[in-house]
Amino acid sequence: MATAGSADERYDITRRSSGLGRRRLTEQAFAALGVASAVVAVGILGLVLGTVLYKGFSQLSLSFFTKPRPLFGESGGIADALVGSALIVGMCMAMAIPFAVLVAVYMSEYAGPRFSRILRVVLDILNGVPAIVVGIFVFGLLVVGRGQSAIFGALSLAVLMLPMVARATQEVLEVIPRSLREASLALGVTRWRTTVSIVLPSAIGGILTGVVIAVARVAGETAPLLFTSSIAANQISGDVTNALPTLPVAIFAFSESPDPGEQAAGWAAALVLIGFVLVMNILAKVFAANRRKRLEGA
Amino acid sequence: MTTPEIDRTRLGALAEPASGDGRGDDVVFDVRDLSVSYSGNVALKDATLQVRENYVTAFIGPSGCGKSTFIRVFNRMNDLIDGARVEGTVLYHDRDLYGDGVDPVEVRRRIGMVFQKPNPFPKSIYDNIAFGPRVLGMKKGLDERVERALQSAALWDEVKDRLKENALGLSGGQQQRLCIARAIAVEPDVILMDEPASALDPISTSRIEDLIHDLKRSYTIVIVTHNMQQAARVADMTAFFSVEVRDDGGRHGVLVEYDRTTKIFTNPSDRRTEDYVTGRFG
**Amino acid B158: pLDDT:** 94
Which tens digit of pLDDT belongs to each residue from B216-230?
999 999 999 988 899
Within 8 A of A291 by CB-CB distance, chain B residues are none
Within 8 A of A112 by CB-CB distance, chain B residues are 82
A193 and chain B: CB distance < 8 Å anywhere?
Answer: yes
Q: Nearest residue on chain A to B124, judged by CA atoms?
A: A297
Higher-pLDDT residue of A67, A247: A247
What CATH fold (topology level) applies to the domain A64-297? MetI-like fold (1.10.3720)
**pLDDT at residue B183 greater than cutoff 60:** yes
For residue A269, what are the CA distances in angstroms to A78, A141, A220? 7, 31, 11
**Amino acid B172: pLDDT:** 92
* Number of Cβ within a 10 Å radius of residue A201: 15
ipTM of the shown complex: 0.88
pTM of the model: 0.82
- Give the whole-angstrom CA distance, residue A174 versus residue A186: 19
**Amino acid A20: pLDDT:** 82
**Amino acid B3: pLDDT:** 41
Higher-pLDDT residue of A2, A268: A268
A interface mutation test: which of B72, B106, B110, B121 has the most A CBs within 10 A? Answer: B121
Higher-pLDDT residue of A200, A66: A200
DSSP string, A188-256: T--HHHHIIIIIHHHHHHHHHHHHHHHHHHHHT--HHHHHHS-S--SS----TTS----HHHHHHHHHH
**Amino acid B117: pLDDT:** 93
Out of A121-125, B109-113, B201-205, pick the least confident. Answer: B201-205
Within 8 A of B115 by CB-CB distance, chain A residues are 179, 182-183, 186
Looking at CA atoms only, how far is residue B46 from chain A in angstroms?
25
Q: Which of residues 144-173 of B touch A (CB under 8 A)?
A: 166-169
**pLDDT at residue B73 greater than cutoff 70:** yes
Every domain of chain A and the residues it spans? 2-59, 64-297
Instruction: Report which listed range, A253-257, B86-90, B246-250, is most confident.
Output: B86-90
